[in-house]
A and B are shown apart, each in its own frame.
Chain A
Amino acid sequence: MRVHGTAFDGVSSQRFEAELESIGDACVLTLADRCFRYARNDVRASRRVGRLGWLFELPDGKRFESAEDFSDAAASTIVAGASGRGIQALESNWRWALIGTATLATLLLLTYFVFLPGLARVLAPVVPTNVLTIVSAQTAKVIDQGYLVGESKLKVAQSLRVSTALEQLKSAVPQLAFDLRVRQGGALGANALSLPDGTIYLTDEAVQVLENHNELYAVLLHEAGHIEQRHAVQGIVTGAGLSLMLFTLFGGVDLTALPLIMLSTTYSHENEFAADKFAAKILLQDGLKPELLADALSRLDGSAAKSKTTTPAFLSSHPGTSERQRRLRAM
């Protein structure tokens, strides 16, 4: 077997016409009327990419390239086990490209809708409590310094309503330890939010709007749902997974911020529904109606609408209130 091509000596950038020939257990490179002899096992053939030609690397730094299209079998007579096929065969076939695209799409959808949320649900309960405490303490600091302004200025009757609702919550969900903090809402307006270690923030504005203590209780139950199911931890897992997925897919191209936000909303919407469901279940056990939460949501929304512009649902962490109410009323 004799192949024609070009060679470089590895010492200069000069290009030579050359031939590579297999003779028994040896390879002979002929270049500029000189012959170089190598043991067949010392010659390396590089794996081919696309239509790029064969490339043989010789032990003394010389390099032989050939544009001739010869088979793997032929190449093997020069270098034992030389193979351009394998991966290259997959790459050169459109059928495989299509199968690859379809498989990839299926895998991505499965990861997004099944594996990643599943992994988050499995990992969330395993995270030790002290990790939750550390993470929550950080967030609490940020919230206290930035978003929520000042101590609560509730009237006595309003404070009483809060403690009644809190007692209801404690007896309904005895397995969790809660730390309820009432603050002036500032930019957050009428709102409630929870941290994974059991801390619940409730704003004065929310207490003012929710005149019925059962509605207040329903909102606290919703937050307890987030804490019970460790949605914050799940969010860290899914967020990390999504970043990794986007990085693998688009590596060098920096388009990742917006898609990440849009893709995360599916998970956070699911969490809101799950927390609603948690609250509705306990309300029913107490002989109360899930509508209480639906009504509370309208009130909170109504007060928020005055101060805030609305974010489209596909960019917002929370699903639309009307959809949540529809589901609550159906329970």
Chain B
Amino acid sequence: MENNDVVPHPVTFGGSASEYFRIWIVNLLLSVCTLGIYSAWAKVRSRRYFLGNTILAGSGFDYHGDPIKILKGRLIMAGLLVLYGFAGRISPIGGGIAAVLFLAIFPWLLVRAAMFNLGNTSYRGLRFGFQKDYKGSYAVFFKGIAITIVTLGLGFAYARFMDMRFRISRSRFGKTPFVFSGTATEVFGIYAKASGIVALALILCGILIGIGGTLGSSNSEFDLRSVGAMVGMLTIYPSGLIAMAMFNSRLFNYKTKSTTLGPIRFQSTLRMRDLSGLYITNLLAIAFTLGLALPWVLVRMHRYRVSRTTVLATPADFDAFASGSTENSGAVADAAADFWDIDLGL
């Protein structure tokens, strides 16, 4: 094989549910026994397990988060949440002020969390990173809210598009920035389809309740009104799942297709039917095992996503990245922001 041919490189996941189950249960047990303190170490081990077993072009990823910082961050966040809870109980004004404050710092938190998350993720000895662009984050956030309000919600898809573009284009690997070239039109299409499915389900539900209401009466022993309402409500859940599967698969494919890193391109082929099946079986498995199936669910979701993602590059491309400025702030605030596990979808 020539070294300068672009070939699809698969991403593989070498972990297994049975192995992760044991890591998960030990994490959980130690977290419970230490009243949550160990959960910071648990998080690092889980991350390292998933990233380390995710292999691209012969190398795995790694996570370097410092558990002590994560723990301090979590304590700060827990304290704030308790304060928020009290403020809300004592007076609605206090709760309102706390909510507004949270909204006001959210764009800042988002940047700090991304810096912590990506800054602590590495591949081939180089760190990922996120640009410290607070101004951009605030602009995207408040523009998004304004557009959504002015268009009575129709512009929400555009707000999401701006958010996606911001998050991806401020990310980097080494010193090479990710470039996002997606268009808003496609995002609108995805939102329209998902809303369509939900709207259809609601109409169907309404019709079923209506039929029940017309045919049934309170005098008969077997009340068709409640049957109509039950069947109607039952159509809502599966169609919600299908809409979610449609939405998540299309959006993920769109994001990977629209992202480039230097000469490297990405491609993913998640499918609605696969995801719907996964979601339904996940829910059933978790419900019937009282949560014990959670590690299995996490592993199969990750494996599915990874197995349908390919990286288009020449073998030489992988060697050509250089390290950037590692402004590893190491601040506890970053770890605190990371409390929300803000997902960057990368």
CB <8 Å contact, A100 and B26: yes
**A91 in contact with B29 (CB, 8 Å):** no
Interface pair B49/A50, CB less than 8 Å apart: yes
Q: Any chain B CB within 8 A of the CB of A51?
A: yes
Q: A25 to B60, alpha carbons, bound, how many Å? A: 30
**Contacting residues, chain A, for B30 (C-beta < 8 A):** 87
Contact residues of B between 121 and 148, Cβ < 8 Å to A:
123-126
Residues of chain B with a CB closer than 8 A to A15's CB:
58-59, 124, 318-319
Q: Please state if B22 and A12 are interface contacts (CB–CB under 8 Å).
A: no
Chain B residues with CB below 8 A from A87, complex form: 26, 30, 45
| A49 with B45: CB separation less than 8 A | yes
B contact residues around A255 at 8 Å (CB): 286
A93 touches B22 (CB 8 A): yes
Q: Interface majority SS on B: helix, strand, loop or mixed?
A: helix
Contact status of A90 and B322, CB under 8 A, knowing A8-B124, A49-B48, A249-B291? no
> What is the minimal beta-carbon distance from B62 to any residue of chain A, in angstroms?
7
Q: Which of B31-39, B193-201, B234-242 has 4 or more CB atoms under 8 Å from chain A?
A: B31-39
Q: Which residues of B contact A8 (CB under 8 A)?
A: 124-126
Number of interface residues of B (CB under 8 A): 47
Given A8-B126, A12-B322, A250-B291 contact (CB < 8 Å): yes
- Which of B13-21, B101-109, B248-256, B270-278 is near enough to bind chain A? B13-21
Asked if B341 is an interface residue, CB under 8 A from chain A, the answer is yes
In this assembly, does B169 line the interface, its C-beta being within 8 Å of a C-beta of chain A?
no
| Interface residue range, chain A | 35 or more
Q: Which of A74-82, A101-109, A318-326 contacts B (4 or more CB under 8 A)?
A: A101-109
Contacts of A10 on B, CB cut-off 8 Å? 125-126, 323
Q: Which of B29, B30, B89, B90 has the most CB of A within 10 A?
A: B29
B318 CB contacts on chain A under 8 angstroms? 13, 15
A41 at the interface (CB under 8 A from B): no
- The DSSP consensus for interface residues of chain A is mixed
Contact B31 A13 (CB under 8 A): no
Kindly name the residue among B52, B85, B291 whose own CB sees the greatest number of chain A CB atoms within 10 A. B52
**A307 on the interface (CB 8 Å rule)?**
no
CB <8 Å contact, A101 and B25: yes
Q: Of B14, B25, B52, B124, which is within 8 A of A13 by CB?
A: B124
Please measure, in the bound complex, the distance between the C-alpha atom of A240 and the C-alpha atom of B86, giving whole angstroms.
Answer: 12
Instruction: List the B side residues contacting A283 at CB < 8 Å.
Output: none
Chain A window 192-228, contacts with chain B (Cβ cutoff 8 Å), 1 for yes, 0 for no = 0000000000000000000000000000000000000
Please tell me which one of the listed residues A51, A91, A240, A250 contacts residue B26 in the complex, with CB atoms under 8 A apart. Answer: A91
B53 sits at the interface (CB 8 A): yes
Measured CA separation A135–B85 after assembly (Å)? 12
Q: Which residue numbers of B lie inside 8 Å of A, CB to CB?
A: 14-15, 19-23, 25-26, 28-33, 36, 39, 45, 48-49, 52-53, 58-60, 62, 85, 89-92, 123-126, 174, 286, 291-292, 294, 318-323, 341
10 A-B pairs with least C-beta separation: A8-B125, A13-B321, A14-B319, A13-B124, A97-B22, A52-B52, A100-B29, A63-B125, A100-B25, A49-B49
**Other A-B pairs, 19, CB within 8 Å; known A12-B323, A92-B22:** A8-B125, A12-B126, A12-B322, A13-B174, A13-B318, A13-B319, A13-B322, A15-B319, A50-B15, A50-B23, A51-B19, A52-B48, A52-B49, A52-B53, A61-B323, A93-B22, A138-B89, A248-B32, A248-B39
Contacts A/B (CB < 8 Å), 17 sampled: A6-B59, A8-B125, A8-B126, A13-B123, A47-B45, A49-B52, A50-B19, A50-B23, A50-B52, A52-B49, A91-B26, A96-B22, A104-B25, A108-B32, A135-B89, A138-B92, A248-B32
